[in-house]
Amino acid sequence: MISLTKIILAATAPSETAAFYNAVLDANLNEIQGSGGFFRGALAGIVLIICPNSVANVDAKQNRQQLCFEVSHLTDRVQAALANGGQVMSSNEAKTHYYLIDPDGNTLELIQSA
């Protein structure tokens, strides 16, 4: 058996990145007291940790993976992304599929749930 138990996302701006994922994907990220800028929450039932890039020592110019989320109320989530430092990279003609950039430069995909 294989299961995914945790996602760790290194961020140069952990607070802004946490606010983005809270607004767009209901991640419920809260700063871990005394941790020096770590945040803990969940994405789709999987633990999400935002780790300061200064600790992770990641030297990527762009993310090496991209997560895709099927969401309800896609338009509302895209508006939340824009209001929280995100950008739209592209969308399909029907506006049922968006590629976004979070405040730290990571890309993610949102698809309207059926």
Q: Do residues 42 and 108 make contact, with C-beta atoms less than 8 angstroms apart?
A: no
Q: Please state the pTM of the whole predicted model.
A: 0.90
Low-confidence ranges of the chain (pLDDT < 70): none
Amino acid code (one letter) for 27? A
pLDDT recorded at residue 114:
80
Architecture per CATH, 6-112: Roll (3.10)
Q: What is the DSSP string of 54-82?
A: HHHT---SS-S--EEEEESSHHHHHHHHH
Model confidence pLDDT, tens digit, residues 64-92:
788 999 999 999 999 999 999 999 999 99
pLDDT recorded at residue 23:
97
